[in-house]
Amino acid sequence: MNAITIIVPVYNVAQFLDRCLESVVNQSFENFEALLVDDGSTDNSADICKRYTQLDSRFHYLHKPNGGLSSARNFGLDRASGKYVAFLDSDDYVEPDFCRKLYETAELQQAEVVNFGYFNVRGNSKEERNSPFFKNQISGKQEFVKLLTQAAKNRILYFAWTNFIRLDFLNRHHLRFNESVLLGEDSVFNLALYMQTERLYALPDALYAYVHNDNSLTQQKFKPDLLKKFESQFRFRMLLHRQFSEISGPVYDADIARNYMENTIFMLFSNIRNSPESVENQLIELYRSDLFQFCIARYKPSGRLNWSMRFKILLFQKRQFKLLSRLISL
């Protein structure tokens, strides 16, 4: 039995893939398998993956039709043989002691989940971000519930790869990624994960490098289905909140509203700026959506935004779409 399964979803990332996989090769801990799940790539990602499987028997190439990130991760989870599972996005990389520190911590603490810090990498800048959980101690559902209303600030739900998880724990609770959620799928997965665990240990070390690249949302063309994807994420998150009574009610609804009003809305503003249709009409559509009707009625500002962001949100709330469309289009 392998100690660790590292699941690496791969989709058209040839330019980043060597850096990612070399960081796995260079681990100080050797007892792992790396499942390279090719989600229907059309570039030469498959050739790169196969080269690593030929050089290192711990690497395994798996191919599937394109189904998205959640589908690729689930495909890997269903084939994992490790005691623990780690996720690694193929445009990111991990520190040399990633496997060793996480395995030793999980074993010592008898943890179901080890949450850890990461580096936020933009160009030559490498900024450390710590785990939002209580450091160097075991937390459970109760501690998570206390932290959840700070999610808009500390990004507690954003990234599945900040968790190192016992595979039998995932299987026992039937935890998988929701393949109907095509954007922000990590937040839905993490919410279910943290509400099930009673033994989560927070390691302060930054062990993962989250790399921002030029293919970010703000630099891509208009995506006509972006609002629908966020609405899908919103619906499934609301279902989970209603499923667990501990996180159901006005306080948690306000936290959800804050997250969408202070984060998601600006991604949507950037998207509709590139719309072939009227920006003003797109803003009206956002306002009328079930997602933002829910959020506007419950939104309480966090106080962490700059004046420009606060002003745009205020214009949106007050339905000043003509002025807001001019500001967005600048």
pLDDT in tens, 239-291: 999 999 999 999 999 999 999 999 999 999 999 998 889 999 999 999 999 99
Integer Cα distance of 169 and 198 in angstroms: 11
Alpha-carbon distance values, 56 to 5, 26, 95, 230 (Å): 15, 11, 19, 40
* pLDDT band at residue 151 using 50, 70 and 90 as cut-offs: low
* pLDDT band at residue 170 using 50, 70 and 90 as cut-offs: very high
Q: How many domains does the chain have?
A: 2
**Could you tell me the residue range of the domain that residue 40 belongs to?**
4-211
- Pair of tokens at residue 137: 């101690």
Q: What is the pLDDT of residue 216?
A: 45
CB atoms within 10 A of CB 223: 17
Picking from 211, 227, 249, the residue at the C-terminal end of a domain is 211
Count the helices and strands in the chain (H runs, E runs): 15, 10
Rounded to two decimals, the pTM is 0.91
Q: Is residue 178 domain-shared with residue 247, that is, in the same domain?
A: no
Q: Is residue 161 domain-shared with residue 251, that is, in the same domain?
A: no
Q: Is residue 207 domain-shared with residue 221, that is, in the same domain?
A: no
Integer Cα distance of 215 and 239 in angstroms: 31
Q: What is the CATH number of the domain that holds 99?
A: 3.90.550.10
- Pair of tokens at residue 73: 């991760």
Q: Is residue 103 domain-shared with residue 161, that is, in the same domain?
A: yes
Q: Is residue 139 domain-shared with residue 174, that is, in the same domain?
A: yes
The residues near 275 (Cβ < 8 Å, ≥ 6 apart) are: 222, 224, 282
Alpha-carbon distance values, 14 to 6, 11, 110, 211 (Å): 19, 8, 37, 15
pLDDT in tens, 16-42: 999 999 999 999 999 999 999 999 999
Q: Is residue 170 domain-shared with residue 231, that is, in the same domain?
A: no
DSSP-derived secondary structure for 120-143:
EEETTEEEEE--SSPBTSEE-HHH
- Pair of tokens at residue 313: 């949100």
Q: Is residue 47 domain-shared with residue 192, that is, in the same domain?
A: yes
Q: Is residue 202 domain-shared with residue 304, that is, in the same domain?
A: no
pLDDT in tens, 115-144: 999 999 998 899 999 998 988 999 999 999
Picking from 211, 232, 257, the residue at the C-terminal end of a domain is 211
Q: Is residue 194 domain-shared with residue 222, that is, in the same domain?
A: no
Integer Cα distance of 112 and 200 in angstroms: 6
Q: Is residue 142 domain-shared with residue 44, that is, in the same domain?
A: yes
Q: Is residue 285 domain-shared with residue 174, that is, in the same domain?
A: no
Q: Is residue 169 domain-shared with residue 24, that is, in the same domain?
A: yes
* pLDDT band at residue 66 using 50, 70 and 90 as cut-offs: very high
**DSSP category for residue 249:** S
Picking from 196, 211, 226, the residue at the C-terminal end of a domain is 211
Whether the per-residue pLDDT at 152 is higher than 60: the answer is no
Q: What is the largest distance, in Å, between two alpha-carbon atoms of the chain?
A: 61
Q: What is the mean pLDDT of the chain?
A: 93
